[in-house]
């Protein structure tokens, strides 16, 4: 009889503890973004951008200095301390369905190293997501993509 009671107590505690754990909602806005090169290595492509953000970009006319606050491409340096103080490359930003493309004014030089950053804290979440979860998620300051072009 004692073993049977011990088994029921164990099952009861297991059910109580497993029902108390909650899965944290995934911050899909920033976790799904991808940065890569175009097929011809002439552009840097930010893909999987949510449609509500693309609509905001289309509604606003952003100049280059405003784009750099969201998505920028830099020439890499060997000095890690100076990396964050680099000036962003000048270029053209184009918006397509689910993507933002950056094409530099001068082509990427073969053999040089570059990196692209998307400053994800600048992304706006949908108001209904914030209301439903009652949380504003932060996943870091930026996502980064390092690359070089070898032609």
Residue spans of the domains in the chain: they are 27-148
Average pLDDT of the residues in 20-26: 51
d(CA 118, CA 108): 19
Q: Of 39-43, 91-95, 135-139, 143-147, which gets the smallest average pLDDT? A: 135-139
Whether 58 contacts 95, CB under 8 Å? yes
Predicted TM-score (pTM) above 0.85: no
pLDDT of 84-121, one tens digit each? 888 899 999 999 888 999 999 999 998 899 999 988 75
End-to-end CA distance of the chain: 77
Residue 9 scores a pLDDT above 70: yes
Whether 95 contacts 59, CB under 8 Å? no
Whether 143 contacts 115, CB under 8 Å? no
What CATH number was assigned to the domain covering residues 27-148? Answer: 2.60.40
Write the DSSP symbol of residue 122.
Answer: G
pLDDT of 49-75, one tens digit each? 888 888 888 887 777 778 888 889 999
**Bridge-partner residues for 103, per DSSP?**
92
pLDDT in the model for residue 20: 61
């Amino acid at each position: 009889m004692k073993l049977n009671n011990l088994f029921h107590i164990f099952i009861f505690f297991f059910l109580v503890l497993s029902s108390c754990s909650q899965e944290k909602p995934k911050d899909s806005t920033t976790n799904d973004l991808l940065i890569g090169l175009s097929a011809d290595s002439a552009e840097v492509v930010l893909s999987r951008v949510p449609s509500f953000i693309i609509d905001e970009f289309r509604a606003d006319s952003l100049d280059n200095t405003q784009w750099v606050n969201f998505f920028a491409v830099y020439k890499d340096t060997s000095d890690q301390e100076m990396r964050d103080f680099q000036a962003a490359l000048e270029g053209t930003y184009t918006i397509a369905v689910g993507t933002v493309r950056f094409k530099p004014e001068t082509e990427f030089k073969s053999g040089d190293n570059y990196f692209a950053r998307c400053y994800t804290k600048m992304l706006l979440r949908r108001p209904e997501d914030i209301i439903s979860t009652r949380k504003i998620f932060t996943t870091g300051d930026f996502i980064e993509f390092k690359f070089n072009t070898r032609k």
